[in-house]
């Protein structure tokens, strides 16, 4: 390559590289917007605008670690703000980038896939969500272990969406298999363990065995009261079911 008189090739090459100051400034901007969300539980518009402004920035590309983190927070906050369909879109777009950056077996990549599946289910397509969990769980079990907390939560959501998709018997069997693991991993008084037992009882009732369902509710009530408190909405629901059963059987 020839150079013109007075041209400094090394300087031109250095000038073409991203400035460290530019990287730091862009990362700092993201951190400040993320902090806004942490403090206020908000920040969705600010974070979306910040990511849009950085979209054309060659310094922080789509799979830069800081941008990956910010996109995950944007999806989560959008979900919490009630726009589940939009959150699903953000999670869906994030999955290939985070898998390429961190690997398909990385815990954060698996978590993004889990949240994408959950938003899909809550957007009105539980059968699709069920299928997404069916593909995700074996990968998570291989990477994290079958008794990792994240895997237990995935299995709980898998059972829930299986039931919502109309397969009550399949959901019942999934809960029966899940509950002992949840008791070991999360603890018997954890809200998700207790809720799994509640949903199992409800499914058995809907399938057509109210007697067994009542026995499950009756055994669950003292555990709910101990674990969640007597005034928790789910405790009150279970108590109402048990009391209604008792009142009904007194009249017959």
Answer yes or no: is pLDDT of 9 > 70: no
Lowest mean pLDDT among 46-55, 128-137, 200-209, 241-250: 46-55
Lowest mean pLDDT among 25-39, 75-89, 162-176: 25-39
pLDDT of residue 82: 86
Lowest mean pLDDT among 78-87, 98-107, 178-187: 78-87
Number of Cβ within a 10 Å radius of residue 164:
18
Mean per-residue pLDDT for 32-59? Answer: 58
2 in the Ramachandran plot: left (φ > 0), alpha (ψ -120 to 50) or beta?
Answer: beta
CA distance 126 to 117: 9
Structure token pair of residue 37:
């969300």
**Residue that wins the pLDDT comparison between 6 and 81:** 81
> DSSP string of the chain?
----TT--HHHHHHHHSPPHHHHHHHHHHHHHHHHHHHHHS--HHHHHHHHHHHTT-SSS-TTSHHHHHHHHHHHHHHHHTT-HHHHHHHHHHHHHHHHHHH-TTSHHHHHHHHHHHHHHHHTT-HHHHHHHHHHHHHHHHHHH-TT-HHHHHHHHHHHHHHHHTT-HHHHHHHHHHHHHHHHHHT-TTSHHHHHHHHHHHHHHHHHT-HHHHHHHHHHHHHHHHHHH-TTSHHHHHHHHHHHHHHHHHHH-
CA distance 221 to 199: 13
Shortest CA distance to 133 belongs to which of 157, 101, 149?
A: 157
Lowest mean pLDDT among 11-15, 67-71, 176-180, 223-227: 11-15
Structure token pair of residue 204:
């058995």
- The model's confidence at residue 193, banded by pLDDT at 50, 70 and 90, is very high
Answer yes or no: is pLDDT of 48 > 70: no
Helix pair angle (149-164, 191-207), 10° resolution: 30
Answer yes or no: is pLDDT of 44 > 90: no
Q: How far is CA 241 from CA 51, 169, 222, 235, in A?
A: 49, 21, 13, 10
CA distance 34 to 50: 10
**pTM for the complete prediction?**
0.80
């Amino acid at each position: 390559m020839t150079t013109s008189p007075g041209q400094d090739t090394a300087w031109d090459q250095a000038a073409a590289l991203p400035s460290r100051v530019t990287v730091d400034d862009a990362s700092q901007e993201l951190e400040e917007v993320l902090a806004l969300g942490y403090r206020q539980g908000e920040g969705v518009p600010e974070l979306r605008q910040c990511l849009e402004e950085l979209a054309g920035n060659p310094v922080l590309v789509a799979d830069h670690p800081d941008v990956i983190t910010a996109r995950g927070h944007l999806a989560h906050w959008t979900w919490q703000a009630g726009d589940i369909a939009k959150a699903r879109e953000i999670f869906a777009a994030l999955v290939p980038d985070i898998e390429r950056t961190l690997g398909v077996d990385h815990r954060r990549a698996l978590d993004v896939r889990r949240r994408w599946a959950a938003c899909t289910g809550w957007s009105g397509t539980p059968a699709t969500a069920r299928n997404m969990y069916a593909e995700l769980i074996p990968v998570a079990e291989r990477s994290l272990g079958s008794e990792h907390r994240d895997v237990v939560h995935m299995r709980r959501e898998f059972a829930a969406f299986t039931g919502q998709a109309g397969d009550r018997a399949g959901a019942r069997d999934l809960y029966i298999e899940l509950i002992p693991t949840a008791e070991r991993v999360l603890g018997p008084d954890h809200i998700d363990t207790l809720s799994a037992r509640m949903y199992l009882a409800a499914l058995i009732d809907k399938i057509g065995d109210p007697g067994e369902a009542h026995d499950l509710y009756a055994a669950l009530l003292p555990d709910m009261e101990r674990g969640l408190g007597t005034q928790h909405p789910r405790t009150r629901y279970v108590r109402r079911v048990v009391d209604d059963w008792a009142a009904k059987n007194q009249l017959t």
